[in-house]
Copies of this chain bind each other. A is one copy, B any other.
Amino acid sequence: MTGTIYGIGLGPGDQELMSVKTDRLLRNAKHVAFFRKAGRKGQARQIVEGMIPEGAVEFPMEYPVTTEIPLTDPRYNEILSAFYKEVTDHLIALAQSGEDVVVLCEGDPFFYGSFMHIYTRVKDVVPVEVVPAITGMSGAWTATGAPITWGDDVLTVIMGTHSEEKLVEHIQLTDALVIMKIGTNFDKVVRALKAGGKYDDAYLVQFATMPKQTVCKLSAMTEKVTPYFSIIIVHGQGRRP
């Protein structure tokens, strides 16, 4: 009997916001794999603290490189590809020996998730199942206390990594807006929001649904933003009775 590789979405961070299915798979897991930066505990692993059964085998998959080499350097792809092959070989071997493995995925696995790099490499070899989850952005817009979209609002989700020109074009065209990957792109994103006419309506949510959660108008930000768990939200203002 071949085992199954489960890519389980953990949601935005609050353990109570995990799905019943993810909760069940996690609490019965024998093998738990997760990505992390070398030397760190790992964000996904921290979210499930206290939920993994005693005796389960943990398999931390440590990125050989994160921001040390620019994305445009061909070595970046080479190193990452070799790393993904190595870890997926291990997961496949486990499944082929009859073991089920859960792979922890922050947010929703198929929405900008790291699990997709495993998924595409294992899906034609062993059984694999993806468990969707609440996205980080959903945790963020819920935290603002106002609906992200009404009626027929258009919603655009964009990363702060794009050029200022491209950001402005999308910001102008959409009704509701979510911006992620802000970190070092913060100043550019602020300029683009101003040029696109949405700066005054933008909220910054940090650590959504987690104990450290903060929500404030972007224009009221005085401190430096947290690179990893920051999301900018602009609410749509569509039709409502």
Chain A contacts to B: CB under 8 angstroms: 11-12, 14-21, 23-24, 71, 76-77, 80-81, 84, 108-113, 116-117, 119-120, 123, 130-135, 138-139, 141-142, 145-159, 161-162, 169-170, 173-174, 181, 209, 239-241
7 nearest A-B residue pairs (beta carbon): A80-B241, A16-B21, A116-B147, A155-B157, A132-B142, A110-B147, A152-B159
- Chain B residues in 8 Å Cβ range of A159: 152, 154
How distant is A192 from chain B, measured CB to nearest CB, in Å?
Answer: 13
Q: Of B16, B108, B112, which is within 8 A of A20 by CB?
A: B16
- On chain B, the residues within 8 Å of A12 by CB distance are 132
Considering only CB atoms, which chain B residue lies closest to A80 in the complex? B241
Contact: B132 with A132, CB < 8 Å?
no
Please state if B239 and A71 are interface contacts (CB–CB under 8 Å): yes
Contact pick for A21, options B17, B81, B147, CB 8 Å: B17
Determine how many copies of this chain the complex contains. Answer: 2
Interface contact B241-A116, CB-CB below 8 Å: no
Provide 27 A-B residue pairs closer than 8 Å at the C-beta atoms, listed in order of the A residue. Answer: A12-B132, A15-B20, A16-B20, A16-B24, A17-B19, A17-B20, A17-B132, A20-B23, A71-B239, A76-B241, A81-B241, A84-B241, A109-B147, A110-B138, A110-B146, A113-B147, A116-B147, A132-B138, A132-B139, A133-B138, A152-B162, A152-B181, A154-B156, A154-B159, A154-B162, A155-B156, A157-B157
CA separation between A140 and B149, bound complex, in Å?
A: 19
Residue of B nearest to A77 (CB): B241
Residues on B with beta carbons closer than 8 Å to the beta carbon of A84: 241
Given contacts A80-B241, A112-B151, A154-B157, 8 further A-B contacts (CB under 8 A): A14-B21, A19-B134, A130-B145, A132-B134, A132-B142, A134-B134, A152-B162, A157-B157
* Minimum Cβ distance to chain B for residue A81 (Å): 5
